Structure formats: C-alpha cells, structure tokens
Amino acid sequence: MLDLFDANCALGMVGRPSPAGAFLSAAQLVDHQARFGVSRGLVYHTLALEEHPAVGNALLTEAIADCDTLQPSWLALPHHTGEFPAPATFVDELRSAGVRAVRIFPDHQRFLTDDWVMGDFFAALAGRVPLFWHIERLNAPTARDIHRVCCAHPTLQVVICDVDKMINRTMTPLMRQLPNLWLETGGYRTHRGIEFMATAVGHDRMVFGSKLPWQALGQPHAELAYADVSGAARRAIAADNLERLLAMAAW
Amino acid sequence: MFGTLWRHHAPHAHRHPRDVFAANAIEGDPIEEFVIDVHSHPGPDSGHQGFNHHYLGGGVDDLLRVMDRTGVDVSCFSAHTAIGPDFVRGNALVAGAVRAHPARVVGFAVPNPNYPELAKEELIRRVDDQGFRGIKIHSTNHAYPIHGPNYAPVFEFADDHRLPILSHTFDSPARLKELAARYPNARFIWAHAIGAHVRDPDLAMTVRDLPNVFCEMAGSGNRRGQIEAFVRVAGIESAVFGSDYPVLSQTWQLGNVAHADLSEAEKRKIFSQNIRGVLGL
C-alpha cells in the first residue's frame, strides 16, 4: 500500500457536512486516513475556515496536541482590519507554535491577494514557511494573481489547493514558468492528469491531498494509485515532496 | 417519509470494508471482477480531443489502455464530437471502435434533436445496421429541452428497441418519472445524478419506484458518502458505474465506488450486475 502524506485535510464540525459527516476529533480523522495508507496529515481546523482563523487555529493546537501523525497548518487573513496579527507578529507566533505551513482562502474569506493587501504577509513568509493557497476556481483573475505573487516573491513556496478539472491549459504554463509553484492533487480529476503534469512539468512539485472531510478519499487515492507514472514519481507525490517542502521551513 | 429523509442525511461513520474492489483499488491494480463503465466519450486518436479543455490522449486506443489499467472490461462509448458539434461524425468514430473492439466497446448512438431527420436516420443506421446497443442524449450541449417534440421519436425508438438511454440532463425527478412511465421498455440512465441527489433528495425517492431507471455518479461535485446515501434511499439496483471519461477521469469514479462504504455484493451490482443484462452482455 502506498504511504501517503495528506496535504489537505481538516478536522472539526462543519455547517454543511457531506453525507458521511465530518471528523470531530483527531482520532476519527487519523483512523479514517489510515485505512487508505495515509500515515501523516497536514491538517487545519474547519472553524478556521468557517468561523475565523483566530478561533480555528487555536482549536487546532488543542485538538492535535496528543496526535503524532497530524501536523498543524494555520489559516491567515490580512491584518489591516485589526482582526489578525501583523505579518511579523504572525510569523513569530508560527515559530513559537512550531507551525510550518500557512493556508489562505482568499475567495471564501473575501480578501484580495494584491500587494497593497497581502504584500507584507507574503514577504514575511517568503523563504520561511510554505503557503497553501486554496482557490475556488482557476479562472483568469486567480491565475493572474498566482502568477503575480509567485513572480513578486520568488522565494515564497506556493501550493495551489482545491483545483478542479480542466486546468491544464492554464496550470501548465504557470507551473513551467514559476519554479516556486506547487500543485496539490486532491481535486485534480483530469483524465491522466497526474501523468500529464509529471511529464510536462515534473513530478517533484505535486503533493497529494484528500480534501477531507468534504470529498471521498478513495477518489484522489485512485487518481494517484492508477496514474501511469514511475514508482519513484508516485512515492514522491504521495509523501516525499510534501516532506521536502515542509523541511524548507525555517524552524 | 420524514424519518427516511432524516436518516438519509444524518452523518455516519465510514467503515471502509476491505473487499476485492477496495483491495485492488488501494494497490492501483486492475479490478479483478467484471466492470462496465456506462459513460465514456472517446475522441479521435489525433491528440486533439477536449473541445473546452486539455487532457492527455482521449482517443479510442487511449481509453482502452486506461481500461486495461483499471480493469474495466467494457465501456459504453458515445463520441465527444457527437455530444458537441457533429453527431454523425462522432457516431462514425464509435462505429469504428465497436467494429475493432466488439468485446470491450458498446456503442451508444447520439442523436442531435436540432437535426430531427438526420437524427432518425442515424439511430436506424447505428442501431439496426451497426450493432449499437444504446442511445446517448445531451440536451445541455445541444440546447434542446428533453421534453421537446424532437426528442419524442428518440424515446419511441428506444422504447421499440428496448434500449438504454444515457441522458445528460438535470431535469426534475418529476420529468424523469413521466418519461419512465411513458416509455416503459426504454431504460433510462440518468448521468451525473448521484451527485445531484445530495441537492435534490426527491430524485432517489422517485427512482426507487422506477424499475427502468438507473443513476450514475460521474461528476465534479462528488461528496463523501453520497453514493451510500443515494442507495440507502433509491436501492442498490438503481445505481450503475459511469465515469464520463476522458472528459472527467475514470480512475476518480472507480475509486469512489471501489472504496464506498458498501458490501462487496453491492459494489458488484453497481459495477456490472445492474446493467449487464440491459446491455446484452
């Protein structure tokens, strides 16, 4: 069985659960993942997304305190409204808590990624902590934002999460031109997509994700398990690339 | 009724039984059991397939190679071109695939109702002369309502020939019920419907009383546990495996069913038993 490190999973209650429900504890999530060979997870708390990062990030620390297999990732917001720490302070908090990954959901949480909003934040993370950028759709504004941010902050490692099908024509040139751009495969349900991206761009910047609890793990698992790629490429996407990415963190 | 709905939506623990389907899929091995994919859209082998997006391959030979890898024995082909601009050209491509691979490919003829005379000729030629065993309609791409008059001859043809009709529509359960009753010898396969079920529970409750209706799960909005939720209401006999590959990914849906919280016997029904007789296999 393939050993997997899940780059995109969440625990906690959600307002609109899938028919199979949510994972109300770390143990429930870990138990479910283990059945698919997922031995580690880079997790966030659902309330960080559905209520507020300040609430969910704190709950996450508590929820996974006794869990060795889940690593924390925190959600971030712009600081201008006073509801979130300034970038330098946030980075200090990440370091203190040993958090080595940050997520943003700009579409869902309604903020722009322009430099006049997030420039200081991206600069503070660059070279220190990878950024997991969750998108609703790889449309023209989002693709241009990704291109601009990755160009402006070349040492910021950016992982695009929650992609959908039909992204190849935009994602391929982005990945080719931006060496600091990574792809999380959880929503990448394109026919032979992993195989294509491994050939067109290389397998070393794709990371496996499940999008639990909303999506069935069997789907992205099968995408990777059946992909016509080498064993080394499959293992890299399954776990090794994410390990390498997180090892780039400054602490 | 209310109690059924509540139970249907109540979150439940996912047990993930390890049966032959899950055991094969977890290793990326071909499924050892007989598997039929009712929903597939090949393009030419030229490497220029996706009319609105790119994917690798997508021609007949490519789809067969994917079937070899996943263990899908038979796929129901209707051409990508046919559900788009040129149904005659698309049906001809599938006719070639049926001739070349009769044991692996079941042809589904596509009629475009905007060309009613040609559509009628196509059904006769493909089904009566070339051995197609089903019909695919795409009222969305062809921008023609499923209850419009030009679809009536298509349904009558299916009823007369006892054919399955794979339908890409998001019409109401009431419309489906009306069609199933009016054409009782036709077999309606409602594409993408199991995902729609999460938004519209009436569908499963309607389908469970219609023996000539099946639903498949191809789609983007597949939510965890939705197949299990659907069959708890509609009954296992109402679900069939369809992927919509290469427009979507066959492996994605294969994993969805193979790892579903269902028994091995239930998965066997979804993967082949429910539809095998309908296709004459």
Contact B261 A221 (CB under 8 A): no
Contact A191 B223 (CB under 8 A): no
In chain A, residues with a C-beta closer than 8 Å to the C-beta of B259 are 36, 216-218, 221-222
Note the pLDDT tens digit of each residue in A117-160.
Answer: 999 999 999 999 999 999 999 999 999 999 999 999 999 999 99
Domain boundaries, given as residue ranges, for chain B: 2-8+52-276
Provide the pLDDT for residue A250: 83
Note the pLDDT tens digit of each residue in B96-137.
Answer: 999 999 999 999 999 999 999 999 999 999 999 999 999 999
Q: Is A32 exposed, middle or buried (0-12, 13-18, 19+ CB in 10 A)?
A: buried
Contact B225 A20 (CB under 8 A): yes
What tokens does A140 get?
């023209």
What tokens does B89 get?
């050209």
Residue whose C-alpha is closest to residue A216's, from B125, B29, B198, B115: B198
Contact B254 A191 (CB under 8 A): no
- The whole-angstrom distance between A117's CA and the closest CA on chain B is 32
What does DSSP say about strands B36-40 and A102-104: parallel, antiparallel, or unpaired? unpaired
Closest-CA residue of A relative to B31 is A226
Question: Best residue in B220, B252, B261 to probe A by mutation, most A CBs within 10 Å?
Answer: B252
Provide the pLDDT for residue A131: 98
Does any CB of chain B come closer than 8 Å to the CB of residue A170?
no
Note the pLDDT tens digit of each residue in A179-217.
Answer: 999 999 999 999 999 999 999 999 999 999 999 999 999
Strand partners, A72: A43
Contact A192 B249 (CB under 8 A): yes
Can you name the CATH fold of A74-247?
TIM Barrel (3.20.20)
What tokens does B47 get?
């490497």
* Residue B242 phi, psi (nearest 5): -145, 140
Look up the CATH number of domain B2-8+52-276. Answer: 3.20.20.140
Q: How far apart are CA A186 and CA A180, in angstroms?
A: 19
- The whole-angstrom distance between A131's CA and the closest CA on chain B is 25
The backbone region for A201, taken as left when phi is positive above 0, alpha when psi lies in -120 to 50, beta otherwise, is alpha
Size of interface A-B (CB pairs under 8 A): 153
Provide the pLDDT for residue B16: 56
In chain B, residues with a C-beta closer than 8 Å to the C-beta of A199 are 56
